Amino acid sequence: MVGNVIVGQSGGPTSVINSSLAGVFKTAKDRGAKKIYGMRHGIKGLLDRQYVDLSDKINSDIDIDLLKRTPSSYLGSCRFKLPEISADRETYDKIFDILNELEIKYFFYIGGNDSMDTIKKLSDYSILIGSDIKFMGVPKTIDNDLAVTDHTPGYGSAAKFIAATMKEIIRDGLVYDYPTITIVEIMGRNAGWLTAAAALAKGEDCEGVDLIYLPEKVFDIDHFMQRVKEKSSTGKSMVIAVSEGVKVADGRYVFELSDHVEVVDAFGHKQLAGTARFLANKVAAEIGVKARAIEFATLQRCAAHMTSRTDITEAFNVGGAAVKAAFEDESGKVVVLKRISDDPYMCITETHDVHKIANIEKKVPLEWITDDDFITEDLIHYIRPLIQAELSPIMVDGLPRHLNIDLTKSL
């Protein structure tokens, strides 16, 4: 027996964040952890003493396999930043009191760069008070904007969903014999990794998207309208991928441009359109072609029925590697993925000082964005291995089955 473990999930969900939870759980159990607790709603829930004994909930190998295929954060999530240690030691003392009550020796937190801040602060505090609890970060985010790691678990599956759905939308958009403009809005306020995945649609059986706009580059509306005008004047239908986070030169988001609505609807509410809707309205009004807007919305982060096996496996592995490192007395670290070969694709895990990862946002390098509103082959080569292979959903009565446990009751 190696002591008790607690694990939490934080930030926006992904399709594979529960595969990391499965990796933490299974590895900790296999390596002799006494108790494995799950925080409800991350560190915020823990502060309210909301936790469950995961061994009560995950009882069999099929539970593990269902958990790997269950979208969204199984334990619930939070968006909560711990205060600075110097400003509020009370919160930290409360957390450590709860951890000590539960005889926790190992603390795992699955999340993005904000969540890694939690690991940083807790491990800093543990040094301050001489606690021997080990704190390890497990990376996840569909946004792929975490520093140091080659990519983040969650990104590959979101990219695969985007590319696969884009192929279908392109087919759908070509069906009539007059030009239509389809503008697809993809998540990513500051980083364009997800939007770039739209480029993968192109292949022997698909002509691909026509234009791609990432938030790393200033969005020039006049130039955009010019490009659409040129292409559509040939009678060709177009599909355009645009990041929700594209901004014009003065720093405003494109979707904020529709914010000039003075009055509004029958009920006096302001009607804010999204980026794609705004652009589609503009194209329809000024160029006079049929334009439609599609938002992938939360589908891109929860489409567990279309995941990348590569991603699911890596998500599991970073969870397992975090446990292994903590059990070998590492703390204040994050597990990162290191690509050691491109062709064939091979990727291993390493651990890295959390201080060099927390709160840092990794964007798409500008040299991977082309001047003709597309992305480079280098960027496509970077993404493609991450969407490879499938883990079929376990279908029951016609629908994907997820792991069901009544988590509403904590211990």
Nearer to its own copies, 306 or 336 (CB): 306
Nearest distance, CB of residue 115 and its own copies, angstroms: 14
**Of 104, 228, 294, 375, the one binding its own copies by CB under 8 A:** 294
Tokens, residue 352: 């890295």
Binding residue for its own copies (CB under 8 A) from 91, 281, 376, 410? Answer: 281
Phi-psi region of 359 (alpha: psi -120 to 50; beta: other; left: phi over 0): left
Alpha-carbon span 64 to 48, nearest angstrom: 27
273 binds its own copies per the rule CB under 8 A: yes
- Binder among 20, 22, 28, 41 for its own copies (CB under 8 A): 41
Indicate whether 171 belongs to the interface with its own copies (CB under 8 A): yes
Based on the number of CB atoms within 10 Å of its own CB, is 270 exposed (0-12), middle (13-18) or buried (19 or more)?
A: exposed
CB closer to its own copies, 10 vs 123:
10
Among 61, 86, 132, 267, binds its own copies (CB under 8 A): 267
How is 140-208 classified by DSSP, letter by letter? --TT--BSSSSS-TTHHHHHHHHHHHHHHHHHHHTSSSS-EEEEEEE--SS--HHHHGGGGG-BTTB--
Judged by beta carbon, residue 33 or residue 289, the one nearer its own copies is 289
Structure tokens at 75: 């334990």
Interaction with its own copies in 46-75: which residues (CB under 8 A)? 70-73
Which of 280, 283, 274, 278 has the alpha carbon at shortest distance from 292? 280
260 binds its own copies per the rule CB under 8 A: yes
CB 20 within 8 A of CB 318: yes
Choosing from 292, 324, 339, 363, the residue that interacts with its own copies (CB under 8 A) is 292
151 binds its own copies (CB under 8 A): no
What is the DSSP secondary structure assignment for residue 383, as one 8-state letter? Answer: H
- Scanning residues 364 to 403, which ones bind its own copies (CB under 8 A)? 384, 387-390, 392, 395-403
Residues 186-215 that bind its own copies (CB under 8 A): 200-201, 203-206
Q: Is residue 140 a contact residue for its own copies (CB under 8 A)?
A: no
143 belongs to the catalytic site = yes
Query: Taking CB under 8 A as the rule, does residue 78 contact its own copies?
Result: yes
Nearest Cα residue to 16 out of 266, 361, 308, 257: 308
Measured from the CB atom, is 46 or 354 closer to its own copies?
Answer: 46
2 binding its own copies? (CB under 8 A): no
Q: Kindly tell me which residue out of 175, 249, 340, 366 binds its own copies, with binding defined by CB under 8 A.
A: 175
177 binds its own copies (CB under 8 A): yes
Cβ-contact 280, 291 below 8 angstroms: yes
Residue 142 sits at φ, ψ, to 5 deg, of -65, -20
Tracing tokens 């946002």 back to the chain, one arrives at 361
Distance (Å) of CA 235 to CA 290, 293, 344, 358: 12, 19, 41, 49
Contact segment (CB under 8 A) with its own copies among 41-49, 127-135, 332-340, 366-374 equals: 41-49
- Within 213-242, the residues that bind its own copies by CB under 8 A are none
Question: Which of 298, 341, 359, 370 is in the footprint of its own copies by CB under 8 A?
Answer: 298
Rg (CA), the chain: 23
Q: Which of 53, 63, 114, 143 is catalytic?
A: 143
# of chain residues touching its own copies (CB under 8 A): 85
Residues annotated as catalytic are 143
